[in-house]
Amino acid sequence: MIDFQRDFCAAGGYSDRFAGLDWVRPIIEPARRLLEAARNAGHFVVHTREGYAPDLSDCSPNKLQRSRNAGSEIGTTGPMGRLLIRGEHGHDIIDELKPIAGEVVIDKASFGAFCGTNLESILRSRNIDTLVFAGVTADVCVHTTLREAYDRWFKCYYVADAISCFDSEIRRACEKMISEEGGIWGVLTTVDEMTQSWKA
């Protein structure tokens, strides 16, 4: 469950400032159904949050400038606190998809969830070799994490109706990239297909 944070999914957050929320609202319910099905099937669930230190010491100058160019500068103050700053209200996961006891939350100062975190060791310690992806944003944090995972030999499922980004054309391209060359980045699937496979 990648970056289902208030700053990306709720009014007044980082994404809402420059892209609105029409792109993300439709995937919240499918993502909730996927999450509940995974829990019911006894699968290990990982949530990720993108965020930075209050002094921005772990946010690169290029990333900060890019957010400034987009009109939603990391670290500036919004109605849920400073945008994408760890510990702020906006940094946390939305209530609909909130982690429960036993689920891991990975905080990352990066787009990819494997970069600078202990995610791989957590997965290896549980002998996990298959990952199912839902989240935001398709072209940035989801695809980056999926590609990191694939290069680490994890089998990846990309749940298209529980993944979105600001631009519908980019979203479609992200889905198309998964299945190119016989499934170069994994398996393109849906919430219904995934949940049915867990019931089988």
Whether 29 and 35 have beta carbons less than 8 Å apart is answered as no
The C-alpha atoms of residue 74 and residue 96 are separated, in whole angstroms, by: 24
Distance (Å, rounded) from C-alpha 195 to C-alpha 200? 9
Burial of 83 (0-12, 13-18, 19+ CB in 10 A): buried
Rounded-to-integer distance, Cα 134 and Cα 35, Å:
9
Beta bridge partner(s), residue 159:
189
**From 7, 16, 92, 108, the catalytic residue:** 108
Distance of CA 166 to CAs 145, 155, 162, 163, Å? 18, 26, 14, 11
Q: Which of 57, 36, 77 is closest to 191 using CA atoms?
A: 36
Q: Which helix or strand (DSSP H or E) is residue 145 part of?
A: helix 143-151
Q: Is 9 a catalytic residue?
A: no
Given 3, 7, 92, 139, the catalytic residue: 3
The question of whether 141 is a catalytic residue gets the answer: yes
59 classed as catalytic: no
Q: Pick the catalytic residue: 59, 141, 156, 174?
A: 141
Catalytic residues: 3, 108, 141
